[in-house]
Structure 1
Amino acid sequence: MAKKLRMFGRIALIIVMALVTFCSGVWAALALWYQLPGNLASRTIGSAAWVIAAVALVTLAITRRSWLPLTAYAVVYAFLLFWWVGIAPSNHRLWADDVSRLLTGTVAGNLVTLGNVRDFTWRADDDYDARWETRRYDLDQLVSADAVLSYWGSAAIAHAMISFGFSDGSHVVFSVEIRKKRGQQYSAIGGFFKQYETILVAADERDIIRVRTNVRGEDDYLYPLRMDKPAMRALFLSYVRAANRLAVTPAFYNTITSNCTTIVYRMARQIDPGLPWDIRLLLTGYLPEYLYQVGALDRNVPIAELRQRGRITGRARSSKAGDDFSRVIRVGIGEPQGVPDAHL
């Protein structure tokens, strides 16, 4: 019996070590593929060499019943982790035009001045008139906050933004995005491997919503949030502080831990520490149901009706150059009733 237990224990240990080596090896291969300097060929060679070496060492460990190959693997892996930790984010790269400038803000009493508010006129993804502005906002005139979700393929995945409205009819949208280098494309997997820095964009609604609906073919929804004025003000200022931090201390974007929704959630938690975590903060396409559950949307109306009312894609696509874009996309949406008792 003791001999059998030792045998089973050895087999279990081998399985565990194989799984650990496999998972760490896959991660390392992807890290090398995304972060090794050079062109596609050199990155592919480096990643493939790692895979071959890892398989060879595991094979030696099993066939020779020796821990030495796995020890060698652990040492090499430690060097790789040391290299990985040394990869630092930067604000100084050749950026794509639409994320080329960093948002900053100054606060003087109720007045907030935002520098580098984006107001592009888009005709295509590579055809636009670039315009950056300095805009001033009076927080005493802040009257609304809306969640804007933009879908591009899967019902479970959407890009989330927050639009703040003022009594004069103006709006500014805050959006946490990847900061793409010129010519770079988005990759969800690359977002796990320090492929992109994070940027906080403030933009005019006609720019940041219309480029998604009219140029990129995305499907957008707008949901008025039930927030009292102190909470709206606090959330707005949280965005300003986050933008100023990124301007001084760049940070990497991460597909799960530091994306468009999780960053907003962390800011909202500063206002309401009781705000619950939920998987729908990652599966952002279902974020409206989460907001409905915590009372951030009008619960006097069924969520299905709020979703139907909130679909702004058609109105955005039919808007004309001289229209009041913010007013056009809100036709039929209405305002939320009251403010929640507990959350936001």
Structure 2
Amino acid sequence: MFLRFFGRLSASLLVLLSALWACLALWYQLPVPSALKIAAAVLWAGFGLVAIALLWRGRAARALLSYAVGFAMLMSWWGTILPSQNREWADDVARQLIAHVDGSVVTMQNVRNFDWRSDTDYTQRWETRRYDLDRIRSVDVALSYWTGPAIAHTLVSFGFDDGQFVTFSIEIRKKRGESFSSIGGFFKQFETSLVAADEHDILRVRTNVRGEDVYMYRVSLPQPAMRSLFMGYLDEGAALVRAPSFYNTLTANCTTIVYALAKHVVPGLPMDWRLLASGYLPDYLYDVGGLTAGYSLEALRAQGRITDRAIAADKTPGADFSQAIRQGLPGTGATP
């Protein structure tokens, strides 16, 4: 008796969860007006509830078979939804990174260097820049917080001994007029974009325009590992040019892809829940010995907050943005 009850309960939960997923999938991907999306979701919810009701009335085989066939048909449709390169993209992700490597010199096309006045008012600039991989001297991780301590956007910035910096950011490739949705990120709403940008663009837009709180940490890596990580980003960019892929809020986001690249540079990096709760990435890096030694995590966090320095740089004519935000940053040697 208990086993029968437990089996029905387990099957009911499975149907309930899959029906919830199906309703959201229909809402985010069914190519019809909103009213028809709602109708489709309501019908599927009713389908799931009927299956559960039949299950508890002793008609388990009929209920589960009917639901399984329906769900299989839904998954067949889901498999036809493929990522695309050809949509009406938002301006800031309209172009893709193209890189050419000649020995140690990398020529990167479509490096973004927008001048942002607001999220909707900006001057577009896409530039071609050259970087000598033999001259990489630093790797900094920046975390941009906008909704509490657990969620942050991860950016990785490379510094060169000639004073250049370039920042890589894995982002959603949103369409014109579209905004980010963490739930939509589970349901093929966005493709993935790799943005390479000037720090005055990609960090300043977060601190000075969007009002996000940004922290920067110097990462301890030997120069060959820095170079390998840089090349990993170029490989990721080339892969996205060859074949688009969907962004996923859980499995293919800004932090999990950084980890996937980094574990090829530093073998044996442990998987950790803080790679999913990206706001706690600095805690993870500190625990694996990846941040500047000789400081507590609290000190690194306090001195790594660049928000006020970024805002102040705007008020100082001629200020070097990248140098200004690093004043007092542990590991850089730049005193405040």
TM-score normalised according to structure 1 size: 0.94
Give the distance between the partners of 2:16 and 2:310, measured in 1 at CA: 48
Match of 1:326 among 308, 311, 322: 322
Question: Given that residues 88 and 175 in structure 2 are in contact (C-alpha distance below 8 angstroms), is that contact kept between their aligned partners in structure 1?
Answer: yes
Equivalent residue of 2:274, what SS?
helix
Q: Letter of the aligned partner of 1:132 in structure 2?
A: W
Alpha-carbon distance between aligned partners in 2 of 1:190 and 1:322, rounded to the nearest angstrom = 41
Q: What code does the residue aligned with 1:167 have? A: D
> What is the DSSP-based 3-state SS (H/G/I as helix, E as strand, rest coil) of the residue aligned with 1:261?
helix
CA gap 1:69/1:334 in 2 versus in 1, 3 angstroms: closer
Q: Which amino acid aligns with 1:107?
A: V
Q: Say which of 143, 148, 153 aligns to 1:154.
A: 148
Does residue 1:250 correspond to 2:244, yes or no?
yes
Could you tell me which residue of structure 2 aligns to residue 79 of structure 1?
73
Q: Which residue of the partner structure matches residue 11 of structure 1?
A: 5
Query: What TM-score do you get using the length of structure 2 for normalisation?
Result: 0.96
- Once the two structures are superposed, what CA deviation does each residue of 1:46-98 show, in whole Å capped at 9, x if it has no partner? 11111112112322333353421321111010011111112111111111110
Note if contact 1:115-1:135 (Cα within 8 Å) is conserved in structure 2: yes
Matched with 2:59 is 65
Do the aligned partners of 1:298 and 1:336 also contact (CA within 8 Å) in 2? no
Q: Return 5+ residue gaps in structure 2 as ranges.
A: none
* Counterpart code for 1:32: L
State the secondary structure of the residue aligned to 1:124.
Answer: coil
**Cα distance in 1, alignment partners of residues 60 and 277 from structure 2:** 44
**Equivalence map 1:1-344=2 (5 Å):** 7-63=1-57, 65-320=59-314, 322-335=318-331
**Deviation digits for residues 155-214 of structure 1 (CA, Å, limit 9, x no counterpart):** 111111100011111100000001111111111111111111100000000000000011
SS at the partner of 1:67?
helix
Percent of counterpart pairs with the same letter?
52
Cα distance in structure 2, aligned partners of 1:196 and 1:84: 15
CA pair 248-14 structure 1, distance change in 2 beyond 3 A: same
What is the Cα-based RMSD across aligned positions, in Å? 1.3
In 2, Cα distance between the equivalents of 1:214 and 1:336? 23
Partner SS, residue 116 of structure 2: strand
Whole-angstrom distance in 1 between the partners of 2:177 and 2:127 = 24
**Match for 1:204: what amino acid?**
D
CA contact (8 A) 1:157 1:284 kept: yes
SS at match of 1:160: strand
Local SS of the residue matching 1:194: coil
Q: Helix, strand or coil: the match of 1:319?
A: helix
Structure 2 partner of 1:341: none
The structural deviation recorded for 1:284 is 1.1
Letter in 2 for 1:68: R
* Contact 2:214-2:306 within 8 A present in 1 as well: yes
The superposition leaves residues 243-275 of structure 1 with CA deviations (integer Å, 9 ceiling, x where unpaired) of 000011100001111000110111111112211
Distance 1:61 1:234 in 2: 55
Gaps of 5+ in 1: 1-6, 338-344
Shift of 1:319: 1.4
Q: What is the identity, as a one-letter code, of the residue corresponding to 1:327? A: Q
